[in-house]
Amino acid sequence: MTVQGRPGTPCTPRSSGHGTAPLPVLTPRRHRSFFRPAHITGRPHGGDPCPFRFASCLDAMIAPMKYRASLPPTRYDVPTVIFHWGCAAIIVLQFATANSWGLFHNPLHHQLVVAHLTAGMVLSVLFPARLLWRLGWGRHIRAADRWLDAVLARGVEYSLYALVMLEIVLGYMWRWGNGQAMSFLSLQFMPPFGRFSASAISLLHGLHQWNGWLIIVLATGHGLAACFHYFILRDDVFQRMLVTGNASDEYGK
C-alpha cells in the first residue's frame, strides 16, 4: 500500500478492499539536537538518554555574560566629558606655549605669552567649575573592581586636581608678584598687591615651572593607562569619557 500526502498533514482514509482504515500521519523528521534539552526540542524524555545536556548548562552560564556584554558601557555625563577634554586641551596648550615662547622673537613671542595668559585665565574659571560639577551633580563611576587599581586611579585623579589648582594659583602669584598684569586677549588685569622680592619671584617661577612638568608627567601616565585599557585589556574604561552612545547607570550615581 502506498501512502500519499504531504508531510505533516493527516492522510484521508482510503479504501483498500479489505475495509477502510485510517492511514498514519506523516510528520517531518526533526533533527535530534545534542545541544538542547528535551523540554526545548519537544522530544519526549524517553528517547533521550540524557535530556539535560552539558551544553545547555553551559549556555545558561554564558547567557548572563552575553547580556552584560550587550549593555552599553558605563559613561560619564556630557558636562563631565566636556569639562574633562576642555581642561586637558588647555593644559596641553599651556605647556606648549610656556616651553616655546623663548624660541621666538616679537611679535610671536608676545602673542604666545598673551595666549598662555588668556588660556590660564579661562582654565582658572573652567577648572573650579569642573570640580564643583564633579562633587555636586556629575555622575560618579566606580574606579575599578580591584582595590589596588581603584587606589591608583583615584590617587592620580585627585593628585591632578590638586596640582592643577596649585598651578593656577602659582601662575597668578608669579605674574602679579612680578608687577605685571594678567592679560585676557587685550584686557589687562593689574596686580591687586605690591611687587614681591626677587627671591620670592624666583621661587614662584621655579615652583610654577616644575609643577607644570609634574602635571604633564601624571597626565601622560593617565593617558597611557587609558590606552592600555583600550588596546590591551579591551574593556570600556576609555569609552567612559566619550560622548557617543548612552550611559548605563549600573555603576552610576
Cell of 46: 524517553
Residue 228 counted as domain residue:
yes
Residue 115 counted as domain residue:
yes
Residue 66 counted as domain residue:
no
**Which CATH number is 131's domain given?**
1.20.950.20
Cβ contact 204:167 at 8 Å = no
Residue 248 counted as domain residue:
no
Read off the DSSP letter of residue 240: G
Strands (E), the chain: 14-15, 20-21, 182-184, 187-189
Read off the DSSP letter of residue 188: E
Q: Domain count of the chain?
A: 1
pTM: 0.67
- Is the bond preceding residue 107 a cis peptide, omega within 30 degrees? yes
Cell of 12: 484521508
Residue 53 counted as domain residue:
no
Residue 202 counted as domain residue:
yes
| pLDDT by 10s per residue, the chain, length 253 | 444 444 545 545 554 455 555 555 555 554 444 444 444 444 444 444 454 455 565 555 555 545 444 444 478 899 999 999 999 999 999 999 999 999 999 999 999 999 999 999 999 999 999 999 999 988 888 776 678 888 888 999 999 999 999 999 999 999 999 999 999 998 999 999 999 999 999 999 999 999 999 999 999 999 999 999 899 988 888 888 888 754 444 433 3
Residue 40 counted as domain residue:
no
3-state secondary structure of 21: strand
Residue 148 counted as domain residue:
yes
Structural domain including 83 reads: 77-241
Cβ contact 38:51 at 8 Å = yes
